[in-house]
Amino acid sequence: MFEHARNVAYHLIDPIHFMAIAACYLPGTIASLLLNLQFRTILTPSALKDAWFARFWEVYGPLNRINATENVRPLITQAKGIVLDIGPGTGEWVSLFDKENITRIYGVEPNVDHHPRLKEKITEAGLQDKYVIVPLGIQDLGEKWVKRGTVDSVVTIQCLCSIPRPREMIEDLYGYIKEGGNWVLYEHVKVKEGRWVGSYQSLINIIWPHFLGGCSLTRDIENWLKVTGSWSKVDLFQPIAEPEYQVIPHLKGVLVK
């Protein structure tokens, strides 16, 4: 009984603790921008948030990779052919791609503060001849980089939480996948209906996006993906190890068009 109560308390406090850690990186970000005379970035809220999150994630991205690799590795190796890698950030997952099955990867990453580290990870993975960084958001992708209906795999690893207009972007990405292509994902999602922890998640989400680069905790990604188009196969599920009181539950799996 005591052990259960302690576990519940830990999961309730964990998001607050994580935001507090992120907040510690803001003063250093501002100091660095001042030293580099990047006053415009400091005075532009969206640019400052991007720089702040990039500084924070440079440290916590690798730690996140350690915790999530068990779930992500068997999924990302299913990416094949021409790949859209959405929101690769600092490239923590790049080394997990199966190079033998990849023709070209387009890494759609609008946050240029992530690009230097992302390039390093691409080189370390030996993918410099196959991986192209696209410095745009999904909404600006168009057909300049890759034509619709020609992508073999879309990969989203913990990024759908922060893209703007998520339902519209999911529909847009669906259009790039060719028949027989797949969508590989590992995302944190909205708590399922009827669970008391959902109300707590919604409360936390009022301030969470301001500390975590625009990330939202309450997106109904599973439903949005299922209704966005016709899938020949849908294999999505929550990791078994996550308890019902998980404030930030995950969804993983593969959809085939």
Contact status, residue 101 vs residue 79, Cβ threshold 8 Å:
yes
What one-letter code names the amino acid at 153? S
pLDDT tens for 20-48 read 999 999 999 999 999 999 999 999 998 99
pLDDT of residue 67: 86
Residues 110, 135 contacting (CB under 8 angstroms): yes
| pLDDT tier, 185 (very low <50, low <70, confident <90, very high otherwise) | very high
Provide the residue range defining the domain that includes 174: 2-256
φ and ψ at residue 198, rounded to 5 degrees: -60, -40
Identify the pLDDT of residue 3: 76
Residue 9 CA: distances (Å) to CA of 28, 64, 234: 31, 21, 34
Pairing of strands 233-237, 250-256: antiparallel
Let me know the angle formed at the C-alpha of 9 by 8 and 12, rounded to the nearest 5 degrees.
90
Over the stretch 195-225, which tens digit does the pLDDT of each residue have?
789 999 999 999 999 999 899 999 999 999 9
Q: Are 257 and 229 in contact (CB under 8 A)?
A: yes
Q: 192 pLDDT band (50/70/90 cuts)?
A: confident
3 state DSSP class of 104: strand
Taking the C-alpha atoms of residue 52 and residue 35, their distance in angstroms, rounded to an integer, is: 15
Closest among 105, 90, 20 to 50, alpha carbons compared? 90
Q: If we measure between CA atoms, which residue out of 92, 82, 106 comes closest to residue 57?
A: 92
pLDDT digits (tens, 9 = 90+) for 124-172: 999 999 999 999 988 888 888 999 999 999 999 999 998 889 999 999 9
Residue with tokens 């970035």: 41
* pLDDT score recorded for residue 178: 96
- Our count of domains for the chain comes to 1
CATH of residue 42: 3.40.50.150
Number of Cβ atoms within 10 Å of the Cβ of 87: 21
Cα–Cα distance list, 207 to 137, 201, 216 (Å) = 24, 11, 9
Q: Please tell me the predicted confidence (pLDDT) of residue 90.
A: 87
pLDDT confidence band for 182 (50 / 70 / 90) = very high
In angstroms, rounded to a whole number, what is the distance separating the alpha carbons of residues 18 and 60? 10
Give the tens place of pLDDT for each residue, 57-91. Answer: 888 888 888 888 999 999 999 999 999 999 998 89
Nearest to 131 by CA among 141, 113, 118: 118
pLDDT of amino acid 143: 82
Q: Tell me the Cα Rg of the chain.
A: 18
